[in-house]
Amino acid sequence: MKKLFVLFIALSLCLVNYTAHAAAKNAAGKKTPARQTRALEPPFRSFIVVEANGGKMIDGSNINERRAPASITKLMVAYVVMGRIATGGIKLTDKVTVSKEASKIGGSQVYLKEGEVFTLEDLMKAMMVASGNDAAYAVSEYVAGSKDDMVNLMNAQAKMLGLADTEFHTVHGLPPAKGEKEDKTSCKDLAILAREILKSPKILEWTSIQSDTFRGGKFILTNTNKLLGKFTGTDGLKTGYYSQTGFNIVATARRGDMRFIAVVMGSPSGKIRDSLAMEKLQKAFAQYRMMNVVKKGEVIEQDVFLIDGKYRKMKGVTEKSFLYPMDVDKKGAITKEILLPERVKGEIKEGQRLGEMLIKFEGTMVGKVNIVSPVYVPKANLFTRFIRRLGLNI
């Protein structure tokens, strides 16, 4: 009995070894189908980070790549509107009647109805907070007369700002229908536009709103910019998306005396886009400190002789302050070059430009500040001017 048991164990082990060998041979003879692994999408197609005050580029990639901005197009609509308001052509309290065409615009909307009346400010808020395409259309018709005329104004402004990569065909940024052209711009151009828009406090006021009401409280406006309340200091500006172009954002945040703008285009998801924008902004705030290079009213220790002035000579002062973001890990030299004429004719008005100061970082010009007269200097009397022309120093 014992011998039979030992024989059974031996036969079992042989069978296991044979089965394993056969399986290994079979596996070696066949090619395992390759796993179809989808390549990870890049977190962006292009991006840029700039310091808002002077425009210094902090970081970026493919900054001139032309892409569709989607709803970010509305930033240029807002810029045109605020320009018209600044010249007194229109007011935010103006009443705007919604047209049939505006009521038919789809996508993100506040469901305007033909014949409804809103103030221009209400519609601007609907456009900038909730990205209402119908609101953008209604605003454009009121401000420019028609959608096409607004597009022309937008392109004219783009040209004036030097936005070489930009062309607009819509006022809302929706994808083009068959036969229509797509809006195009770049991260670099959007950063330039954002810097200009930051000069309008009202736009920042709107874009910093996380939630508000519309149509007498019957409709809730929810901001599409999720960095608000999530990233400290964020107060604008605009997001944009449709499937062909991806997720885009122009974000700006301020902490203390520093403000940065981050533009991200072509992200595969809103979450990735927002994370990247926050990462880039956080890095900029951590890496840079604002240096007060020039103070407003700083006296220039170089005399300017006044040929006709009541006073013989004067010292100019700087017209404004100049701040420059300095990398905390670098100690590059800031230099100032004074450009002033030796002599100036005629009377001198207070604030009159006399010359300029060029500010350079590591030999490259990064800014300039006008040097102006701190006071009014009338002409000297005729006798004094005659004597001076004879070479006498009085």
Over residues 383-392, mean pLDDT: 71
**Per-residue model confidence (pLDDT) at position 153:** 98
**Per-residue model confidence (pLDDT) at position 27:** 45
Q: pLDDT for 292-346, tens place per residue?
A: 999 999 999 999 999 888 888 999 999 999 999 999 887 778 999 999 999 999 9
Q: Is the per-residue pLDDT at 147 higher than 50?
A: yes
| Alpha-carbon span 263 to 48, nearest angstrom | 5
**Per-residue model confidence (pLDDT) at position 42:** 86
Rounded-to-10 torsion of CA 177, 181, 183, 184: 140
What pLDDT band is residue 382 in, cutting at 50, 70 and 90? confident
Q: Lay out the sheet containing 313-318: strands in order across.
A: 334-339, 353-361, 364-372, 313-318, 299-306, 343-344
What pLDDT band is residue 20 in, cutting at 50, 70 and 90? very low
**Per-residue model confidence (pLDDT) at position 23:** 45
Over residues 141-164, mean pLDDT: 98
Q: pLDDT for 262-296, tens place per residue?
A: 999 999 999 999 999 999 999 999 999 999 999 99
Share of the chain above pLDDT 90, in %: 79
**Per-residue model confidence (pLDDT) at position 53:** 92
What pLDDT band is residue 11 in, cutting at 50, 70 and 90? very low
**Per-residue model confidence (pLDDT) at position 41:** 76
**Per-residue model confidence (pLDDT) at position 28:** 46
**Per-residue model confidence (pLDDT) at position 383:** 74
Q: pLDDT for 329-339, tens place per residue?
A: 877 789 999 99
**Per-residue model confidence (pLDDT) at position 89:** 87
Q: Is the per-residue pLDDT at 35 higher than 60?
A: no
Least confident span in 3-12, 131-140, 205-214: 3-12
Over residues 39-52, mean pLDDT: 90
| Number of residues in the chain | 394
Q: Is the per-residue pLDDT at 245 higher than 50?
A: yes
| Alpha-carbon span 392 to 394, nearest angstrom | 6
Q: Is the per-residue pLDDT at 36 higher than 90?
A: no
| Alpha-carbon span 262 to 238, nearest angstrom | 11
**Per-residue model confidence (pLDDT) at position 332:** 72
Tokens for 65? 């790549």
**Per-residue model confidence (pLDDT) at position 2:** 46
Q: Tell me, rounded to whole angstroms, the distance of Cα 317 from its chain centroid.
A: 32
**Per-residue model confidence (pLDDT) at position 394:** 58
> 35 or 93: whose pLDDT is higher?
93
> 131 or 394: whose pLDDT is higher?
131
Least confident span in 19-23, 76-80, 181-185, 355-359: 19-23
**Per-residue model confidence (pLDDT) at position 39:** 56
Tokens for 220? 């809730």
Q: pLDDT for 58-72, tens place per residue?
A: 999 999 999 999 999
Q: Is the per-residue pLDDT at 22 higher than 80?
A: no
**Per-residue model confidence (pLDDT) at position 16:** 42
CA-closest candidate to residue 225, choices 240, 242, 213, 212: 240
Q: Nearest-5° angle of CA 345, CA 350, CA 352?
A: 55
Q: 116 phi and psi, to 5 degrees?
A: -65, 150
pTM: 0.83
Q: Is the per-residue pLDDT at 8 higher than 70?
A: no
Q: Tell me, rounded to whole angstroms, the distance of Cα 215 from its chain centroid.
A: 30
- Mean residue pLDDT across the chain: 90
What pLDDT band is residue 30 in, cutting at 50, 70 and 90? very low
Tokens for 5? 């048991």
With helix as H, strand as E and coil as C, how does the chain read? CHHHHHHHHHHHHHHHHHHHHHHHHHHHHCCCCCCCCCCCCCCCCEEEEEECCCCCEEEEECCCCCECCHHHHHHHHHHHHHHHHHCCCCCCCCEEECCHHHHCCCCCCCCCCCCCEEEHHHHHHHHHHCCCHHHHHHHHHHHHCCHHHHHHHHHHHHHHCCCCCCECCCCCCCCCCCCCCCCEECHHHHHHHHHHHCCCHHHHHHHCCCEEEECCCCEEEECCCCCCCCCCCEEEEEEEEECCCEEEEEEEEEECCEEEEEEEEEECCHHHHHHHHHHHHHHHHHHEEEEEEECCCCEEEEEEEECCECCCEEEEEECCCEEEEEECCCCCCEEEEEECCCEECCCECCCCEEEEEEEEECCEEEEEEEEECCCCECECCHHHHHHHHCCCCC
Q: Is the per-residue pLDDT at 125 higher than 60?
A: yes
Residue for token digits 């395409």? 133
